[in-house]
Amino acid sequence: MSANPMGRPFRSVLYIPGSKDRALEKARGLAADAIIFDLEDAVAPEEKISARAVLKAALDAGGFGARAWKRS
């Protein structure tokens, strides 16, 4: 199990496709210890460029704190 920057083990990790606006918005209010935004396997090859833009906008808007991680 991975440890978070605060030194405690993660109890819950949420993987979210970086291309799903609705899931990104909902993730802000969830109590997961870590949120991993997946831009690899969870995103179709033809959607990767737009997924990066969607995820960048969501991260720029904030609300995820230090628990946000990006897999690309």
Residues 36 and 58 sit within 8 Å (Cβ to Cβ):
no
Q: What angle do CA 38, 2, 32 make, to 5 degrees?
A: 60
Over residues 24-44, mean pLDDT: 90
Q: In the chain, what are the domain boundaries? A: 13-71
Identity (one letter) of the amino acid at 29? Answer: G
Tokens of 72: 């690309």
pLDDT in tens, 5-24: 567 788 889 899 989 999 99
Over residues 64-68, mean pLDDT: 78
What predicted TM-score, i.e. pTM, was given to this entire model? 0.75
Parallel, antiparallel, or unpaired: how do β-strands 34-38 and 68-71 relate? parallel
